[in-house]
Amino acid sequence: DGPVRAARYWGLNQQEYYSKADVWPLDPNGEILVVIQIEDTTGIHNLSDMLENVPGIGAVLIGEGDLGQELGFPRQYDHPALLEAIAEIVAICKVHDVVVGHAHAGTGNMQRLLDEGFRFIMSAPDRSYAGLEKGLELIGRA
């Protein structure tokens, strides 16, 4: 049960748990972020419908590796077909005012990601935080 686990791991009592365990952005004070991942063309084709009919989706994360694989261009992250599919996801998210995310941000692609409207940026900390540091610098928060 959620409240029991919350008390055990986070030090919250049951009432505190219920006041925080709500989905943002439906509840501005909610502390649960629902992120869906789009990693194939079926997901792209259904994304607008999902964002219209499923309340509470806070962000869409693009699975560019699997998407590129399906498109026939594995590990070719700059391939025009993959970039076009990613742009379609970003455009759909903008129409629905939903944050779009990228899981492979680094110093080489950070400027492009910010220019394209990505607002949920992830980096691989086991390698370095250089990509995130570059992003903070580019948006004036370094």
Q: What's residue 69's pLDDT?
A: 97
Task: Tell me the C-alpha distance between 22 and 97, whole Å.
Answer: 20
Q: Are 68 and 82 in contact (CB under 8 A)?
A: yes
User: Mind listing the pLDDT tens digit for each residue in 13-28?
Assistant: 777 777 777 788 888 8
Pairwise CA distance, residues 85 & 10, whole Å: 40
What is the share, in percent, of the chain residues with pLDDT greater than 70?
Answer: 92
Phi and psi torsions of 2, nearest 5°:
-55, -50
Which residues, at least 6 apart from 74, have a Cβ–Cβ distance to it below 8 Å? 65, 68
Q: What is the pLDDT of residues 91-127, one digit of tens each?
A: 999 999 999 999 888 888 889 999 999 999 988 665 5
- Residue 64: band (very low, low, confident or very high) from pLDDT cuts 50, 70, 90: very high
Concatenating the DSSP letter of every residue in 2-17 gives HHHHHHHHH---HHHH
Could you tell me the residue ranges of all domains in the chain?
Answer: 23-138
Positive or negative, the Cα torsion across 36, 105, 29, 10? positive
pTM: 0.79
Tell me which CATH homologous superfamily contains domain 23-138.
Answer: Phosphoenolpyruvate-binding domains (3.20.20.60)
Question: Looking at residue 26, what is its pLDDT?
Answer: 83
User: Distances in Å between the alpha carbon of 95 and those of 15, 27, 51, 59, 70?
Assistant: 36, 21, 10, 13, 25
Helix axis angle for 41-53 and 64-71, nearest 10°, is 130
E strands present in the chain = 23-24, 32-33, 35-38, 59-62, 99-102, 120-121
